[in-house]
Amino acid sequence: MHIFAIANQKGGVGKTTTAVNLAAALAASGQRTLLVDLDPQGNATMGSGIDKRGLQVSVYQVLLQLITLAEARATSPAGKFDVLPANRDLAGAEVELVDLDLREMRLKAALAEHRDDYDFVLIDCPPSLSMLTLNGLCAAHGVIIPMQCEYYALEGLSDLVNTIKKVHANLNRDLKIIGLLRVMFDPRNTLSNQVSAQLEQHFGDKVFKTLVPRNVRLAEAPSYGVPGVLFDRAAKGAQAYMTFADEMIERVGQWKE
């Protein structure tokens, strides 16, 4: 089981879109996949076709160890992958976890019992470096960082990289940056191309080969509760996320050898 946190403390950079579409693309490729929604906004839950307003239980109760992961998970009606859903309740977890034992290890503990159930676990982190994100980083083997190729893209990346280093040093020796994923890419934009080239220069093979273009079909899909890769399979964005799933499967395959 490979566990990846999809993180970037900036909002609106494509974390949730990446989490939902990579989960659906991996599932479509036959990988047993669990998507964990760690954002109180519940966008990954909704985008997977699960109504956050109707949830009886969610990741919130799992983090507080009131119920098990098996009791809280649901299956995406469209996507053939499992979801550990979230809603507003999760905002309270931040405060409620503070005084509890091993507060940053709660998700890791819950996942440990399901080691044999999944090939991939993807964790959609909230736009902050909070206790929730910390739970994601402590549970994960690696971090996938979606980013837009714009002027300020690198600003803030150092905060995230420092946090990942600290977590690696103090809490989770397994953690590493798997890669930077360029999303909402516009090939006709000169600046995008320059920033993209800079990323390749600085980060080398830590930059995924796959480029996800800006594609309106990916943005439309969540309102139908269907992952973009299934909503319009022929769309450029859908195809990019299918290619990205192949790239991820290839990466983890190399580790086994």
Binder to ligand ADP among 3, 4, 15, 225 (CB under 6 A)? Answer: 15
Give the other-Cβ count within 10 Å of 169's Cβ: 10
Site map (CB under 6 A) of ligand ADP, residues 228-247, x = contact:
---------x----------
Span interacting with ligand ADP, options 66-74, 162-170, 173-181, 207-215, rule CB under 6 A: 207-215
β-strand pairing of 82-84 with 74-75: antiparallel
Beta-strand ranges (E) seen in 97-175 are 120-124, 142-148
Q: Does 133 bind Mg ion (CB under 5 A)?
A: no
Interaction pattern, residues 24-63, with Mg ion; x per rule: CB under 5 A: -------------------x--------------------
Residue closer to ligand ADP by CB (options 10, 73) is 10
Contacts with 124 (C-beta within 8 Å, 6 or more apart), sequence order: 6, 15, 16, 19, 20, 35, 36, 37, 38, 39, 43, 44
Among 212, 226, 229, 242, binds ligand ADP (CB under 6 A): 212
Taking the C-alpha atoms of residue 127 and residue 129, their distance in angstroms, rounded to an integer, is 7
Tokens 């195809």 label which residue?
A: 239
Query: Is there binding between residue 27 and ligand ADP (CB under 6 A)?
Result: no
- In the complex with Mg ion, the residue whose CB is nearer, 33 or 43, is 43
Q: How far apart are CB 200 and Mg ion at their closest, in Å?
A: 26
CB 126 within 8 A of CB 8: no
